[in-house]
Structure 1
Amino acid sequence: MTNRFSLFFAKQRQAITRFIFWTAGFIALWAVLAGLVLPQVVRHVTQSRLSEMLGSACTLEKVQFNPFTLRLTASHLRIPLPDGGDCFSLEQLQVRLSPSGIYRLAPVLSDLKFTKPNLEAVLQTDGTLSLASLAPASKPEPTRKTTPSEAPATDNVEPGDRFFGLVISDLEIVGGRLHFQDNIRQTEHTISSLEFFTPFTSTLQRHREQAITPYLQAVVNGRPLRIEGRLKPFAEQLHTEFDIRLDRLELARFQPYLKPFADITLENGVLSTDLVFNMRQHAETGIRLGLTGKLMASDLALLAPDGAPALRLPGLSIALDGALNTDEGLTLKKVTAQHPELQVTRLADGRIDWATWWKKPPEPEEQDDTPLPLHVELFEVKNGRVLWRDRKIRGGFQTLAEELAITVANLRLPGSEPARLQAALRLGDASLSLDGALLPKPLQGSLRMELADLALAQFQPYAAASGIPVTLQQGKLTCSGLLETDADAFIFKQGTVGLQGLALQRNDTRKTFFRMEDLILEGLTVSAAAHRIEARQLTLRAPSLQLRRDRKGIIDLQQLRPATHRDAPARTPEGPERPWQLLLAELKLEEGQVAVGLEGPKETATAELRNLSARITGYDSAAATPLNVSLAGRDRQGGTLVIDGTALLKPLELKLRMRTSSLDLRPMSPLLGALNPDLRLGAGTLTADLRTDLKSAAGKNRSRTTGQVRLESVSLLEGKRQFAALRRLQLPGLDIQPAQQRYSIGKVSLTRPHINLVVDSNGANNLARLFGGHPPAGQAPATKPKKPSAAKPPYLRIAGIEIADATLRMHDNRYKPALTNQLEKLNVTVGAMDSSPDSRSPLTFAGKLDGAPVKGEGSMNLLRAADAMELQTSLRTLNLTPLSPLSERFIAYPLQQGTFTLDSRIAIDQGKLDSTHKIHLDSLELGKKVDSPDAPDLPVKLGVSLLQDPAGNINLTLPVRGDLHDPSFSVGGLIFKVIANLLMKAVTSPFALLGGILGAGDEGLEYLPFSPGEGRLLAKDAQAVPTIAEMLLARPKIGLVLTPHADEEDRKMLADAYVMRRMQELKHADLPKSEQQRLEPLDLAVGPETDADEYADLLFEVYAEQAFDKPKNFLGLVKKLPPQEMMERIREHYPNDDKALEQLALERGRQVQKAFIETRPELQGRVTVAPPRVPGEGHHVSFGVQ
């Protein structure tokens, strides 16, 4: 064998030598070209081509190639941006071409290693990526239609023939880095320490079912990320799977990406993942994208735009499994939120703050893609807290819900099967729970709700926001029921609502005004769609209401109405709103109490009803069905109140019966303060049985009340003094019809009424003071002119009035000592009466005034007493001695003895009073005069003596007339005026008064007249002398005083009277003696109308007698002048001074005195002449007494 080889080598030595040299030369050449030339060419071409393609000055510092190991090494590749900025750099790239590719018939790359690749990417503010500047825009190539013959033939291509044959082993990236700068959102992200390794990758047919197992690990923003893969990208059925593990990635770095969607701030939070993403191709269904594993977030913190905490979530874990692109959908096996803390605020405009933070996304384009099915097997919220704030409420409000727990099981979206929902939370001592099933879309479900022990006091700000000025002091709310929803329909049914220990306080007084032990609402159903609220029974147990009525008559409950703000915008309804229907089968009130504090000007009392019970059935706000109503209660003293009947609210129609028994009226006393602050009710009870029918039609109410009322043991006080009382007042047969203005009462009965009338020292009496009284004396009450009314006057009918055993006691403090009178045992009977003008009622009464019988009878219209009355009254033998204080004041004399009897006739017709009062005073005797500033300075005793007849009695008839419609008219004032005039006339004209009393007339009994200037008493003027003389003889205690008068008219006629007297005397002297004895000078007629010549002669004789100088004739005798001239000369010289008038008056007095004595000589010494009055009140002699 060796020889053969040696032989062959010897023969082929030259050829072998050439082969060796050629081979060595080829190797040397290959080493030179591939090891030295090729790297430079590759470096230059690569650098130039990259720069040309990317439009950037790319650099490749070094390229090495080992021609024997076929390893290519490129170092320090840099691809900058066109502006010179950093973009990509690679420290080293190594790759080796494996010789195994020869037998594999495909290139085999091994040891492909990228060392420290670094990519810098910048998102510009205009939205472009910096990498985009490396790819210059290319001109679009013109399209050319391909013919069928030019189309690539794919029908006969095997699936494996679509990939270029390539084998890569040990693909590795070491020390990689990716830096992303976002200039739009002013943030950056870094992926560093990037390590990637793939042991084997092949597109060859025999390797395509072999899994590729790459792995990647890196640091993302400082947190580790590891991805392990199992890929079959070239297999007939595509299968890719990645294990993704991310450890505590800080989410706050991604806050800028949240801003376009919401104004909230992601302050903190880390994300960890343990996911398996797979992509598998199925022949029937295509590619399925699957995701399995866990998402875990912790320490999540969201801040509101103002920096306040909005959400804190210490822990969130999501276990999921499923597909992302098939109908199988994604299954959330378990979602757990641990200790979430959520803060929700209602803003001042009523919006929820979370709703305002989310920005409205752009309108999405219409898509036909169906949503990804989502199945939540279990969703849990554990030990959560929700802080609710309300800034719309004045002063703000907040409450904290704790121990929030929510469990949702088997939720499918979309789906037709409802999910199981359980939720619970606590509000302080209160608890709320929900349990049931719910289908989110369309919203359907049924939930059992339980709310227990919710303290209402914490919700006081909402009560204040309602405008009602009350404070929720205490109270606990409980509620349970079934919540059902179907699409837009919401129903709450089988509900029970309870309210325990409610207490409300008024804000103004800080006092509790309402308490209630329990409120129970059962069988509650609320339907939002039907606008219907229905309940089986509402029970109010032990409610207590405290009210107050102030001095102005305002109930404080009216002040609790919500306040209205003028500046509040009016709400305009968008359309006709469907009214809510409220149905309540039964309302019950048990053990209730109502107390009303009544404030009067000087006293305060509390009216109280206890043990209140009520029942109302059949309420329906939409149906016109009547309610059955019943109410009962008691006052403090045991009086009862019962109301029952039916009530229809729309239209209003009431049929009620009210019964009271001995209901105490004493607490109502302050109401009388409206009449007078001093008026009080000391006692009284009310017993009534009334029926009321009320109907409302056309905006008007028509009512009718019938029944009977009885008041018992009533006592009215003025301050602490009783001024009125009655044992019983009965009003039977009541029939009140306000709309028709018809009022009827049966026979009214008053038993033992008692009135104390007290007159103060200033003349005001308690009745006038308490009930209005009259204006001060001399002042007419101010009246407003009444406009005539065309309305029909009201009709009133009373079947009769009976007063039994009445008493009127009057105590008059104007006198010292006080004057006290009493009208007692008064019985009054009045027949039937009505308000018609022609109605007359028979009237009888009888009683005793200070022991003296008084009675009367007649007829009158008691309702129109000022229009019609006829009455006869009598008072017998009233002892006047107790009235002595009255006489001492007004006449300055006490009454020591005497009785008074009165018979009166009173008639009134159309307001005109015509009455006559016959007075008989028996054995009247006055005491000694006392000092009284109110008594006139008159000789009262003289007047009494004048009025008394020989038996010592006085009989007077006093007419009283007047117009009752005159505001200044007063019966008492008119009587006093008549009596005052009577006394004055008794002194000034006593005989005129006596003439009137005795029926002789009063003409000529005041004085005796004289002719002007005349001192002689003519027979025609002395006719009253006998009459007066007889009066004097009948009254021996008085004497006659004559007061002569002379006035100015006398002064003018002195001379004429003197001339007339002298002419009569001269004529009488010329008569025969027989005639002189028969005639008196006064009887002779002298005058020019009788005998002018005689008159002239007699006048001349008188003229000649005068002592003054007179013209004479030629014989020296007095010259006779014409009568008129002679009379004028006498007048000029006759004395007419006051002395002449006094002489004239004295002459007149002596003439009258003489006449009385000549008539009745017994009067000698009882007729005296007083000093003359010059100038006097006339030309007469007046009569006086002494």
Structure 2
Amino acid sequence: MKIRHTVSKIKIAVFIVAGLLGIYAALGFYVLPMLVKSKLPAFVEQETGRKASLAAVSFDPFSLQLSLQGFELQEPDGQPFTLFDDFYIDIDALQSISQSALVIDKVSLNKPVVRIARDKGGAFNFKDLFKSNNEAEREDTAVFPLNIAKLSITEGKLDWEDVHFNSPEKETVYPINLNIENFTTQAADNSSNFGLTLELNSGGKLDWQGVIGLNPLSSSGRIKLDNVPLPRIRALALQDVVQQDLQGYELLEADYKADYVDDKFNVSVNQGKFELRDFQVSETAQDKALVKMLKFAVTGIGFNLEKHELTIESVSANDADVKAWLNAEGVLNYQALLPVAKAGATPTEPEQTPWNIKVGNIVLDNFGLSFEDRTLKKPVTLTAKPINLKLENFSNTAGASLPFQLNAQVNETGSIKLDGNAVIEPLSAQLAVDVKDIALENFQAYVDKFARLDVIDGTLAVDGKVAVAKSAEDKLDIKFTGNSQIARLLTRDQLKNKDFVKWENLTLSGIDVDLTANQYSAETLTINKPYARVIIKQDKTVNFGDILIADKSVRKGKHNANVQAAKSAQAKISKPEFKLGKIQIVDGSSDFSDLSLILPFSAQIKSLDGGASHISSDQKSTVKVDLKGTAYDLAPVDVKGEISPYLGDYDVTVKFTGMPMPLISSYMVQFAGYKVEKGKMTLELNYKVANRELTASNNILIDKFELGEKVENPNAVSLPLELAVALMKDADGKIKLHVPITGSLDDPKFSVSHIVVDALVNSIGKVISSPFRALASLIGSEQDLSTISFAAGDAVLSKQQIGKLDDLAKALKTRSVLDLEIKGAAFQEQDWPEVSDDALYDQLKRIKAAEINKQGGRKIRAEHVVISDQDYRRLMEQLFVEKFPLMVEKSLLGATRLVGSKADTSTDEFYAVAKQKLSAIIKPEEQRLKSLAAERAQAIANYIVQKGGIANERIFILDTAIDPQREGNGIVSLLSLRAD
């Protein structure tokens, strides 16, 4: 009975357990899923205010596996906020009990979708999900015990919408896959493996593999962000910071370690790599790129936040083009692109621990720079390509040396090379500079700002060494030693379009510059073949004043203030000290013009050699000058002496030897009112100034001097110069003058030019004894001996003119110092009708020569042709018919005759008319008239020499004249007397 009773109890217990299990199973498999499916959406809507839906729920109460399918949570406007296809969780109950924690074998979320949006005000679409709860705000430091063996998210999707920026943006991240293994909140220093991959719909991938720990918070692994378009980075995250259009792709990958311990965040990076490919920056998408770069790469990145260390193996960039400009206001275009600090912002306090930065090498290859200066009326564009830069072992450690090399081609023809070492802290640099063939014409617009001058050609070169160091006063100490050169300089003034200043080569060697000390020195300034065009204008100003452009910013009201400000600023700076060993001029030249004279004067100085030495800012310095050249390619010029520019003392000797005086005729007109027809002058001037007192001597030697025509000048000295010259000549025909002058430079009435003029007038006045025009009276003649008359078209002396020449010869014999000049003359109106017959005859000879040459054989020139009487008549008839066809006709027998007349080619009347008409149409020939004038001059000269007994050396035939000025209508050749 007991057994049966016991069995009965067991059966009852089994039935009860089975029933309970059945009830549990029914509740788990059916009731609970139904309740969750029906109540969960309502609960979610109650808590969030948003509608939710759930397609299916399954639960295994025995294995504690829960699955939710088809969940969706909507936004207030009905759009989906989040949804997923399937959520699965597998709880290990036994392990949970044994570990006193929630142990989950697996959590998976399949195809979740989340939509995140931000409105204009910057609020997110999930803001309303977070409700205020004071109790929830209380800090609860207890960590829920949780262990998850495996957590995964598969094929997740994130839709991002942002209208907060000026340009609304959308982006889709798909797929998102996340795997985490051995996640726990219990064990300290227990890390979980994880992997995260995702892709942006617009391009780019993230691959993040590593481990993560929660106690303490830490992570390590490798992260790679590849092929991310820069426009998307800017559009999604940097619109407020970066206003420019960015193009290109980014790569970032690195091994990292990070943790958060004792309220400190530490991170370190190893083997990092960052790349930009096909990089471009533009102000807007429609503008041309400001920066284009094929590739920028940073490799071997090491970073330690705790130790403040950054190490980089290499930085490289290649094939870049950069465009920059100064706008009209002088602002660099990149300055406007940089973010501006907000007004009132508190500056960030400097870090206490400095960073240690090291870079193995930096290489820039094939860079290009195009710079445009738009501040000028005509913008200037400067280009530099290729630019190659190499730096090694960069470090900001104090005293670390940084070797570098820079090579750049400038404006296609020039080049710049820098090679040296630099130290960042304290700042210093030592570098070699080599600049070659920088074309100066590219800088024309800068010249236009201050000079009306065109730079046609010229190149700049500089070589030397530059030293830069930061002084104790936090100022830069800059020094330079080396050489500079400007070759093939050619400038042309814009007013006359003529060469202004030019040279073949200018070299400044042995340069030593110390900017901090304001000291400048050089050994030699050599100028090879320099040239300058100097013009003294009518108002006594020099043409340099026309070339230079006055500063329009200087106005009368501001002038004094500007001067005072300049003096005040200058007083704070030490006076510059300069020293130049010597200036060497090789084969210099100049075109000099003085338009202020009554007769404008021009001269050329060539073959100028020599220079100056001992040029210095020393107040006691004395400059030594030694120059040699030639004036007009004829007269040697020597300049020697010493000048004390600061003391005002000088001792200079200037010597001109054999100067052709007609070439300086303008100055003679200014002094005496006469041109110079002939003569050579040797002039030695010695001027000494000591203690403001002038002592000078002027030694003048004039050989074969002859005055030219008189020029009206009211300021000229009033002297009978013709007679003075004749009487001042010695037996050799030379005039010697010694003109000493003295005076005080402090005398307000002192003028060197006036003193010299007075001294010359006094010297000349002493030797004047009788008037020059009394020559004829010496022989008792009252005839006008200045002209010889001729018959029209003739060069034969008449008896009356022979008588005048006899009287002239007698007068010349009494004054052996006088020479006779003969200027043969012819007059077109009177002489040409008489010589035109010869011109007609020569024309017929040319026609005959042409006929002979057409027949072939030996060629003959017209002047060698002999015309017979028969040919003369034939050619005359032929030429007359050709020139006057309306005046002739043919007779019945075919003979040529004059119209309206019986005169034909058989009569002299025909040829007389033909000759008269043909001669009349021949234009006067200047050379034939000059020949007639020359014959008349020769006839006069021959008679004076052969019959008058005057030495041939005293007779000069001048250049002939056609229609010279004369009194009356006489056909005369002009005679003039000049002293030998």
TM-score under structure 2 normalisation?
A: 0.65
What is residue 199 of structure 2 aligned with on the other side?
A: 425
AA partner of residue 454 (structure 1):
V
Match of 1:801 among 583, 586, 590: 583
Match of 2:229 among 434, 438, 455: 455
Match of 2:67 among 285, 294, 304: 294
Q: SS in structure 2 opposite 1:258?
A: helix
Q: 2:291 matched to 1:520?
A: no
Cα deviations across residues 1123-1173 of structure 1 (Å, max 9, x unaligned)? xxxxxxxxxxxxxxxxxxxxxxxxxxxxxxxxxxxxxxxxxxxxxxxxxxx
2:398/2:424 contact within 8 Å kept = no
1:519 Cα deviation from its structure 2 partner: 0.8
Q: 2:640 matched to 1:857?
A: yes
Q: SS in structure 2 opposite 1:457?
A: helix
AA partner of residue 644 (structure 1):
D
What is residue 26 of structure 2 aligned with on the other side?
A: 228
Q: SS in structure 1 opposite 2:50?
A: strand
1:957 Cα deviation from its structure 2 partner: 4.3
Q: What is the distance in 1 between the residues matched to 2:538 and 2:440?
A: 33
Match of 1:870 among 608, 626, 651: 651
What is residue 266 of structure 1 aligned with on the other side?
A: 50
1:373 Cα deviation from its structure 2 partner: 1.4
| 1:469-868 to 2 correspondences below 5 Å | 470-472=244-246, 474-487=247-260, 488-506=265-283, 510-548=287-325, 554=330, 556=332, 559-560=335-336, 562-564=338-340, 568-571=343-346, 573=348, 576=351, 578-598=353-373, 601=376, 604-635=379-410, 639-676=414-451, 678-680=453-455, 682-719=457-494, 721-758=498-535, 765-771=542-548, 784=563, 786=567, 789=571, 793-811=575-593, 819-851=601-633, 852-861=635-644, 864=645, 867-868=648-649
1:537 Cα deviation from its structure 2 partner: 0.2
TM-score under structure 1 normalisation?
A: 0.55
Q: What is the distance in 2 between the residues matched to 1:678 and 1:803?
A: 23
What is residue 906 of structure 1 aligned with on the other side?
A: 687
Q: What is the distance in 2 between the residues matched to 1:203 and 1:947?
A: 171
| 1:888-907 to 2 correspondences below 5 Å | 895-899=676-680, 901-907=682-688
Larger radius of gyration: 1
What is residue 800 of structure 2 aligned with on the other side?
A: none
1:298/1:313 contact within 8 Å kept = yes
Identify the range of structure 1 (759-768 vs 330-339) with the bigger mean alpha-carbon deviation.
759-768
Q: What is the distance in 1 between the residues matched to 2:268 and 2:302?
A: 7
2:310/2:356 contact within 8 Å kept = yes
AA partner of residue 211 (structure 1):
G
Q: What is the distance in 2 between the residues matched to 1:521 and 1:387?
A: 31
1:889 Cα deviation from its structure 2 partner: 8.7
* Structure 1: gaps (5+ residues): 1-104, 106-200, 217-226, 231-239, 260-264, 279-289, 986-992, 999-1027, 1040-1186
AA partner of residue 1033 (structure 1):
S
AA partner of residue 300 (structure 2):
G
Q: SS in structure 2 opposite 1:428?
A: coil
Cα deviations across residues 1003-1044 of structure 1 (Å, max 9, x unaligned)? xxxxxxxxxxxxxxxxxxxxxxxxx9x8763445599xxxxx
Q: 2:21 matched to 1:245?
A: no
AA partner of residue 497 (structure 1):
F
1:485 Cα deviation from its structure 2 partner: 2.1
Match of 1:997 among 763, 783, 789: 763
Cα deviations across residues 90-138 of structure 1 (Å, max 9, x unaligned)? xxxxxxxxxxxxxxx9xxxxxxxxxxxxxxxxxxxxxxxxxxxxxxxxx
1:310/1:343 contact within 8 Å kept = no
AA partner of residue 488 (structure 2):
S
1:914/1:962 contact within 8 Å kept = no
AA partner of residue 332 (structure 2):
D
1:376 Cα deviation from its structure 2 partner: 5.3
* Structure 2: gaps (5+ residues): 730-734, 776-980
| 1:126-275 to 2 correspondences below 5 Å | 208-212=16-20, 228-229=26-27, 243-246=32-35, 248-249=37-38, 253-254=42-43, 257-258=46-47, 265-270=49-54, 272-275=56-59
Aligned length in residues: 739
Structure with larger RCO (C-alpha < 8 A, sep 6+): 2
Cα distance change, pair 917–311 in 1 and its aligned pair in 2 (3 A): farther
Cα distance change, pair 960–838 in 1 and its aligned pair in 2 (3 A): same
1:496/1:521 contact within 8 Å kept = yes
AA partner of residue 461 (structure 2):
L
Q: What is the distance in 1 between the residues matched to 2:233 and 2:306?
A: 28
Match of 2:175 among 398, 404, 407: 404
Q: What is the distance in 1 between the residues matched to 2:378 and 2:744?
A: 43
Q: What is the distance in 2 between the residues matched to 1:556 and 1:586?
A: 29
Cα distance change, pair 920–401 in 1 and its aligned pair in 2 (3 A): farther
1:535 Cα deviation from its structure 2 partner: 0.9
Cα distance change, pair 948–518 in 1 and its aligned pair in 2 (3 A): same
1:577 Cα deviation from its structure 2 partner: 5.4
What is residue 970 of structure 2 aligned with on the other side?
A: none
Q: SS in structure 1 opposite 2:144?
A: coil
2:417/2:433 contact within 8 Å kept = yes
What is residue 358 of structure 1 aligned with on the other side?
A: 130
What is residue 319 of structure 1 aligned with on the other side?
A: 89
1:962 Cα deviation from its structure 2 partner: 7.9
1:328/1:373 contact within 8 Å kept = yes
Cα deviations across residues 653-676 of structure 1 (Å, max 9, x unaligned)? 111111234444443444434432
Q: SS in structure 2 opposite 1:769?
A: helix
1:558 Cα deviation from its structure 2 partner: 6.0
Q: What is the distance in 1 between the residues matched to 2:55 and 2:388?
A: 66
1:271 Cα deviation from its structure 2 partner: 5.8
1:836 Cα deviation from its structure 2 partner: 1.5
Q: What is the distance in 1 between the residues matched to 2:692 and 2:214?
A: 89
Match of 2:148 among 358, 375, 391: 375
Q: SS in structure 1 opposite 2:100?
A: coil
1:527 Cα deviation from its structure 2 partner: 2.8
Q: SS in structure 1 opposite 2:727?
A: coil
Aligned alpha-carbon RMSD (Å): 4.7
1:609/1:636 contact within 8 Å kept = yes
Cα distance change, pair 738–380 in 1 and its aligned pair in 2 (3 A): same
2:505/2:527 contact within 8 Å kept = yes
Q: What is the distance in 2 between the residues matched to 1:908 and 1:550?
A: 55
What is residue 903 of structure 2 aligned with on the other side?
A: none
What is residue 434 of structure 1 aligned with on the other side?
A: 208
Q: SS in structure 1 opposite 2:33?
A: strand
Cα distance change, pair 308–492 in 1 and its aligned pair in 2 (3 A): farther
Q: What is the distance in 1 between the residues matched to 2:241 and 2:717?
A: 78
